[in-house]
Amino acid sequence: MAEAKGPQAQTGIDDIVIYVPGRSAASPGVKTHKLSSNETPLGASPKAIEAFHAAGANLELYPDGAAHDLRDAIAAHYGLNPERIVCGTGSDELLSLLAQGYLGPGDEAIYSKHGFLVYDIAIRTNGATPVIAPEVDYTTDIDAMIDLVTERTRVVFLANPNNPTGTYVSFAEVKRLHAALPQNCLLVLDAAYAEYVRKNDYESGIELVATANNVVMTRTFSKIYGLAGLRLGWAYCAPGIADTLNRIRGPFNVNAPAIAAGVAALNDVEFTEAAVAHNDEWLVWLCTELEALGLQVTPSVGNFILIHFPEDEAHSAAKADAFLLHRGVVMRQVGNYKLPNALRMSIGTEEANRATVAALAEFLGTPG
């Protein structure tokens, strides 16, 4: 007797490629340096940890559904209107909510070839069609995105800086893209790594949101603030978009310990500055050392680098990854980002960075 079929998922769900996070463990018996998830090597601010523990004394209480304290802290930090800020369970939730609010069957949404995989998931989940723009030198091609805009385009996702490539586009290019979009098309600026960028022509999106009603910027506390385990993010947007997000988000979508830790993390400016300084130093050092080994490194403005490996099979990215795991170094395979012969490496502690360079020198020195 044939097994009865259960409920069937909506059209498009079966086409979603399941998101696979970076691995956490290396080979047994060796010290692990986890460099696969772009986490800060400095951890969270001690003040944020203290606030988290204090919030644990009242776990029986529901959190503030509007996250007033966190929104006010973000607004004070950046000089924004808190009414235009929406908080979420990581920026991932906010990206999904934006797709839920503005995409449906028959609609199209654009993102770049090596763009964040959550975009594709969010688009397909809502029955819309993903449209993928080619890149130039692992960088978003604004002209290519503009060329793909049609009357069906409802959302354009732009990761700036982009993950996993680490590249960015200037604010002038972002404005050019926005100017080419119809008013009924939403431009989503995913600025998860904005705090690390040290380029004069970069702007995270705050200025554009302030002057347009079809732009939203998303940010996260998972990277420089070291709160990835709490899943905390926020969006800055026009009042109409904020209203949409608030209507469809969960009523208590941000938990109380996350709110408390987020406020404390924002206020610990000295700790954040130390994280930036660490990244500035070791990003340059790693690029210099890896290129001296003969490896190609895509120029990055984030807290990670994309390392390209030789074409010969003996020294491929897959072989390098296996070799590194045996020496305790965990990187991120990026074949699902259409980068089969590259690995993404987070900027780690001094010990982790030096161990990685030494291991790769040993790997590349092995005979083919």
Provide the CATH number for the domain around residue 83.
3.40.640.10
The pLDDT value recorded for residue 311 is: 87
Question: Average pLDDT of each block of 10 consecutive residues along the chain (368 residues)?
Answer: 70 73 68 95 98 97 97 98 97 98 98 97 97 98 98 98 98 98 98 98 97 97 98 98 98 97 98 98 98 97 97 92 96 96 98 98 79
The CATH number of residue 321's host domain is 3.90.1150.10
Tokens of 252: 């208590």
Do 185 and 293 fall into the same domain?
no
User: Which pLDDT value is given to residue 80?
Assistant: 98
- Let me know if residue 4 belongs to a domain: no
Q: Are residues 149 and 196 in the same domain?
A: yes
CA–CA dist 51, 257 (Å, integer): 7
CB atoms under 10 Å from CB of 49, counted, come to: 16
In terms of domains, do 217 and 330 share one? Answer: no
Residue 268 confidence (pLDDT): 98
Model-level pTM greater than 0.85? Answer: yes
Residue 13 has a pLDDT of 78
- Kindly compute the dihedral angle of the four CA atoms of residues 117, 202, 40, 262, in this order, to the nearest 10 degrees: -90
**Residue 10 has what pLDDT?**
79
Provide the 3-class DSSP secondary structure of residue 156: strand
Amino acid 1: pLDDT: 53
The Cα 333–Cα 351 span in angstroms is 22
Domain boundary among 242, 267, 292: 267
Number of domains in the chain: 2
Domain boundary among 267, 295, 318: 267
Q: Are residues 256 and 109 in the same domain?
A: yes
133 beta partners: 112
Judge if 126 and 222 occupy the same domain. yes
Structural domain contains residue 6 = no
Task: Residue 326: give the domain boundaries.
Answer: 13-43+270-364
Does one domain contain both 38 and 50?
no
215/71 same-domain check? yes
Q: DSSP class of residue 19?
A: P
Evaluate whether residue 2 is within a structural domain.
no
Residues 295 and 207 in one domain: no
For residue 262, tell me if it sits in a domain: yes
Q: Is 1 a member of any domain?
A: no
Q: Are residues 173 and 211 in the same domain?
A: yes
Q: Quick check: is 128 in a domain?
A: yes
Same domain, 87 and 155: yes
Q: And the tokens for 94?
A: 């906010």
Residues 356 and 244 in one domain: no
Burial 266-304 (b: 16+ CB within 10 A, else e): bbbeebbeebeebbeebbeebbebbeeeebebbebbbbb
Are 55 and 29 members of one domain? Answer: no
Among 204, 235, 267, the domain boundary falls at: 267
Distance of CA 66 to the CA centre of its chain: 24
